[in-house]
Amino acid sequence: MDEAKMTREELMRVLSFAGTLRKLSEEKTDLASVDARWNIVAYAMNRHFEGKMLTITSLADAAGVPYGTAMRRIGELIDEGLLLRRPRSKSGKSFSLHPTRTLITQFEVYASEFKRTVGNTFGFTGDDADEAEGGFYFGGHYMASRILSYPNAMRVGIGKERPIRVLCPIDPTFKTLKKLSPQLGELCGAQFEFITMPLDQLHDEIFENQKRAKSRYDIVSVDLPWIGQLAERAAIMPLNDLLKANDFRGSDFHATIWQAARYRGQQCGIPIQPTVELLFCRKDLLDEVGLDIPQTTDALLHAAQALHGARRGQSGIVMNYGRGTPVAHTFMQTMADFGSPVIDLTPSVDGFDTGSIHAKNYRPLIDSKAGRETAQFLLDLLPFAHPDSLRCDWDKRIGIFSRGEAAMTYGWSIRAARFEQDDSSVAQGKVIYSPHPSKAGLTQVSPVGGFVLALPAALGAERVAVAWKAMEYLTRPELMKLYVQNGSLTSPRFSTSADPEVQAVSGMIRDIDQMEQNGTLKVWPRPPIPEFADIISILGDEIYFLLQQQVSIDEALGSAQHRIEMLFKMDASKKAG
């Protein structure tokens, strides 16, 4: 019989309630004797759900019987395969204990039956068969087969001989990983170090690491548009052989995200922090001016004008116009709203092909009709944009929006936690999300971004197996759920996104899942070519000068076009030579 899955909080309530009932008979009366086996199991499960370390000493103390008796009962549970004893040192003298998957499953079955019995006894459920599974309180039948269990410990730990060093950006998911590093280390039997850097510095450090005789890091985090450059220059390892050897399949990942981490037929990374750029709108402010969420670029311009100054100190929109990387990404992603990528990609049924980029595709489209429409649109938004827009990066932009200083913004989904999980934010609970507005008559798309975990090419052969084991564990569905529950509003896996506990954290996760299924999420607005970083550098200057109104549209786009053409010619000459 399939049991209804229950939330972690419910499972812990069952433990507490069952324990209280047992104490009534064991401690308050002489009707029963202490059940050491139950006490050991209950304590082990509680520590597991709390994510805390379990030692044999603490477990023996929890048994409620003499030490010798407790040790025999613990030994029986280990022999039966219900508890796992895992060394914490080379000598094996120090070790930790963990519930096995068998014990976790058996307890979940027990808890489900316990809940059903309580529900029937106290009339919390009706006669319906489904309701009998525990329709009272959240987490019963309507979550059946969808709630992911709390992460279980690895049967064989990675080892603590040397720390697992992970190079990553200063982004929400990685802040969560850093915060959870002691807990993750305990689950993996390892020691983690998360080294965070700003985006541009991270990019440079991956290449610096390639020059070293031995990699300083076991795992590196790669921004999706960098995949082509890092793979082409052999800074990261291809993973196809590892995936095959470990029977690792990508079918549970959003197809767009999974495929974005491929280069010339090789998988180069495992998704951990996908993010989608959306339009964030304050619904309450749109309602005040009688407007719906904009679906076209013209409607967005109209809404920005209507909302600008509608309240004192309120800008219509805040834009990422800061010089360099921020404004370059803004131009690229907005150009997609006018139907074009920045290079001449081959059209496909659902947009443009980024899986097979050939020499003929290396023709920039900056100085084109779509490029000029994009430039004009960004200029037209300036009068209604927050005055700090020309100094904005991603953090500054979302901060302005969260404080209520702007009614709309484009924003990466991962950064919505800034206001969704901040009780002091005036935007909390008032924001609706939509794909990028497009030029009238074109299909709306939303650019996909975010990070994947990859193995540095300079990693010695002796470290590959350990690094892979850590990377695979960090990207499991139940780990993704743990990150969401600790402040990261992103999930690259369908199984994680479908979990009601995950959806309860933010409806945006479900919305993005739906966008993936609808084909709205696209990689082509930021094509993963080796020259991507150089294109960003060029656009970061030329478009910024345009928005500062130091040059005309023709001058800015003409200069960018010429510089990128020269870049492609130089790279082609190097490859030919």
CATH code for the domain in which residue 47 is found: 1.10.10.10
Establish if 195 belongs to a structural domain.
yes
Q: Are residues 369 and 392 in the same domain?
A: yes
How far, CA to CA in Å, does 341 sit from each of 302, 365, 495, 564, 572?
Answer: 25, 7, 31, 14, 21
Burial of residue 81, with CB atoms counted within 10 A of its CB: 0-12 exposed, 13-18 middle, 19 or more buried: exposed
Q: What are phi and psi of 105, to 5 degrees?
A: -65, -45
Boundary of a domain, candidates 97, 112, 143: 143
Q: Are residues 495 and 560 in the same domain?
A: no
Establish if 151 belongs to a structural domain.
no
Establish if 1 belongs to a structural domain.
no
Rounded Cα gap, residues 308 and 288, in angstroms: 12
Q: Are residues 472 and 412 in the same domain?
A: no
| Intervals of the chain under pLDDT 70 | 1-9, 89-92, 119-146, 349, 576-577
Contacts of 227 (CB under 8 A, 6+ apart): 260, 261, 262, 263, 268, 269, 452, 528
pLDDT in tens, 488-536: 888 888 888 888 888 888 878 888 877 887 788 899 999 989 899 999 9
Establish if 81 belongs to a structural domain.
yes
Boundary of a domain, candidates 143, 170, 196: 143
Boundary of a domain, candidates 495, 521, 547: 521
Give the other-Cβ count within 10 Å of 32's Cβ. 12
Q: Are residues 47 and 65 in the same domain?
A: yes
Establish if 354 belongs to a structural domain.
yes
Q: Are residues 529 and 546 in the same domain?
A: yes
Q: Are residues 310 and 382 in the same domain?
A: yes
Across-strand partners of 448? Answer: 276
Establish if 334 belongs to a structural domain.
yes
Q: Are residues 204 and 187 in the same domain?
A: yes
Count of domains forming the chain: 3
Asked if 136 contacts 125 with a C-beta cutoff of 8 angstroms, the reply is: yes
Q: Are residues 220 and 253 in the same domain?
A: yes
HEC-encoded secondary structure of 205-268: HHHHHHHCCCCCCCEEEEEHHHHHHHHHCCCECCCHHHHHHCCCCCCCECHHHHHHCEECCEEC
Give the other-Cβ count within 10 Å of 489's Cβ. 23
Contacts of 382 (CB under 8 A, 6+ apart): 389, 547
Q: What are phi and psi of 395, to 5 degrees?
A: -70, -45
Using left for φ > 0, alpha for ψ between -120 and 50, and beta otherwise, residue 351 falls in left
Q: Are residues 388 and 408 in the same domain?
A: yes
pLDDT of residue 411: 95
pLDDT of residue 502: 87
How far, CA to CA in Å, does 285 sit from each of 298, 404, 508, 548, 571?
Answer: 18, 10, 19, 29, 49
Q: What are phi and psi of 204, to 5 degrees?
A: -70, -35
Establish if 193 belongs to a structural domain.
yes
pLDDT of residue 446: 93
CATH code for the domain in which residue 344 is found: 3.40.190.10
pLDDT of residue 577: 60
Q: Are residues 268 and 288 in the same domain?
A: no
Helices assigned H by DSSP within 123-179 = 172-179
Query: How many residues can be counted in the chain?
Result: 577
Burial 167-206 (b: 16+ CB within 10 A, else e): bbbebbbbbbbbebbebbbbbbbbbbebbbbeeeebbebb
End-to-end CA distance of the chain: 67
Q: Are residues 134 and 24 in the same domain?
A: yes
Rounded Cα gap, residues 500 and 505, in angstroms: 9
Q: Are residues 327 and 411 in the same domain?
A: yes
**Which of helix, strand or coil describes residue 376?**
helix
pLDDT of residue 129: 36
Contacts of 200 (CB under 8 A, 6+ apart): 324, 325
Which residue range(s) make up the domain with 370? 277-444+524-576
Establish if 506 belongs to a structural domain.
yes
pLDDT in tens, 373-409: 999 999 999 999 999 999 999 999 999 999 999 999 9
User: Which helix or strand (DSSP H or E) is residue 449 part of?
Assistant: strand 446-454
pLDDT of residue 119: 67
Give the other-Cβ count within 10 Å of 391's Cβ. 13
CA angle centred on 331, ends 546 and 320, rounded to 5°: 85
Across-strand partners of 409? Answer: 280, 318
**Which of helix, strand or coil describes residue 276?**
strand
Look-up: residue for tokens 């052999």? 234
CA dihedral 175, 177, 181, 185 (to 10 degrees): -170
